Amino acid sequence: MNSKLNLVLALLLLTTSGCARLDDRESSRGDDIAATAAAATYHNDNHDGDDDDDDGDDGDDDRSEPGTETVGEIILEPAEPGPVFGYEDGVGPDLWAELSPEWFLCGEGAAQTPIDLNPGQADMATLDKLRLHYRPTPVDVVNNGHTAQFNYEPGSWLKIAGTRYELLQFHWHTPSEHTFVGEHQVLELHLVHRNRRGDLAVVGILVTAGDENAELASLGGDRTLAQILPRQEGVSYRFDELEIDASGLLPSDRTTFRYHGSLTTPPCSEGVRWFVYSEPLTLSTEQIDILRNALSQLKHAGNDGNNNRPLQPRNGRVVSLSR
C-alpha cells in the first residue's frame, strides 16, 4: 500500500465525534455537509466567497480533555455540547428531528437532500458556468465520528453567476447519499463551500470502482499509519509537508445535476446549492476498501458501517443537468 493510501486510511480510521454545524458559527472548519450540525462548528472567516475577479482555471472511545491543546502536529478540539446524532440505532436519520427542536427540518423540510438523480427526469439546460479553482493545500485530517474530512486552506473556490464560494473541506460517505437512476454507488465525495453571506454550495461526486485515482495514490511523504491516525475524539492531524489538490478528485466530464437542497445531517438546513457530477470518480478497489473500512469504524457509523442519509422526496423541485 503506498504512502498516499496510508494517509487516507489513517485519516479515515478515526473514531470520534461531531459533524459540521452550519449555522452562524459554521462548524469548526467545516464538516460533512452532510455531516453537519451537531457537534463541531466550522469557523472559517477567510475569503468566504465574494465577487472578486480572481479567476483561475476552470475545474471544477477516547475523549479529549476540555479546552484546545496542541501536541506537536496533533490538535485537540473538543466537540461542542449538544444532542448526539449518528447513523446507528437510537440516533439514526429517522430520529434526527426528534433529538432536538432545532433539527425539525430533518423531518419536516420540503427541500431536503439527498435525492435520486436521473438524466431522464432532469431539465436539460444551459446554465451559468460552474468555475472551480482549487489549489494544493497542506493536509489537515479530522475525525468527527460521522465522517473523515480534509480541511482546506483558504484560496480555493467555486464561482457561479459571479458569486464566489470558498472551499472549506471535503469528506466521504458510504454508500453514496445520492442515487443515480435509483442505484447507490460505493462512495460519495462532498466538497463544501461557503460565500461571505454564509450561503453554502456543495459539489457532490459519486464513486465507482475502476482505475486508481492518482491524487489519492501520490499524496507523498513517508508517514506511517501509526503516525497519522488520530485516536481521540475531536483530534485533527496537521501535515504541513504533505499536500492534496482537490482538482485531482474531479471527473473529466464537467456536466452536473443542479438543484436546491439541504445539509444531509442535522440541522438539515435548507437553501444549499448542490452540484452533483453526472460522471463518477473512479478509485481502485484497494482505495475504495481503505475508505469504506475507515468509515465503517467511525464512532457513529451505522450497523452496516454506513454513514449516509436515506433518500428524501423531491417534492416537485427542479433538477437541471448542465455543463
> What CA–CA distance (Å, rounded) separates 251 from 265?
25
Question: What is the overall mean pLDDT for the chain?
Answer: 78
**What confidence tens digit (pLDDT) does each residue in 148-170 have?**
878 899 999 999 999 999 999 99
> What CA–CA distance (Å, rounded) separates 217 from 194?
28
In this predicted structure, what is the pLDDT of residue 74?
A: 56
Q: Give residue for cell 503516525.
A: 227
Q: Residue 129 carries which side chain, given as an amino acid letter?
A: K
> What CA–CA distance (Å, rounded) separates 14 from 94?
25
Interhelix angle 3-12/285-296, rounded to 10 degrees, is 20
Cβ distance 152 to 143 under 8 Å? no
Strand partners, 171: 149, 190
Domains and CATH numbers, the chain: 3-322 (3.10.200.10)
Which residues, 6+ apart, have CB-to-CB distance to 135 below 8 Å? 56, 153, 155, 156, 245
Phi and psi, residue 148, nearest 5°: -115, 130
pLDDT: which is higher, 81 or 304:
304
Which residues, 6+ apart, have CB-to-CB distance to 242 below 8 Å? 7, 138, 139, 219, 220, 221, 223
Share of the chain above pLDDT 70, in %: 70
> What CA–CA distance (Å, rounded) separates 115 from 107?
15
pLDDT: which is higher, 179 or 38:
179
> What CA–CA distance (Å, rounded) separates 117 from 95?
25
> What CA–CA distance (Å, rounded) separates 128 from 117?
20
Distances 231 to 11, 13, 141, 142, 317 between C-alpha atoms, Å: 10, 8, 12, 10, 42
In this predicted structure, what is the pLDDT of residue 32?
A: 42
**Average pLDDT of 128-138?**
94
Q: Give residue for cell 475569503.
A: 47
> What CA–CA distance (Å, rounded) separates 262 from 200?
9
Q: Which of 210, 214, 171 is nearest to 191 (CA)?
A: 171
> What CA–CA distance (Å, rounded) separates 201 from 205?
13
Supply 273's cell numbers: 446549492
Rg (CA), the chain: 18
In this predicted structure, what is the pLDDT of residue 225?
A: 32
In this predicted structure, what is the pLDDT of residue 286?
A: 86
> What CA–CA distance (Å, rounded) separates 196 from 147?
25
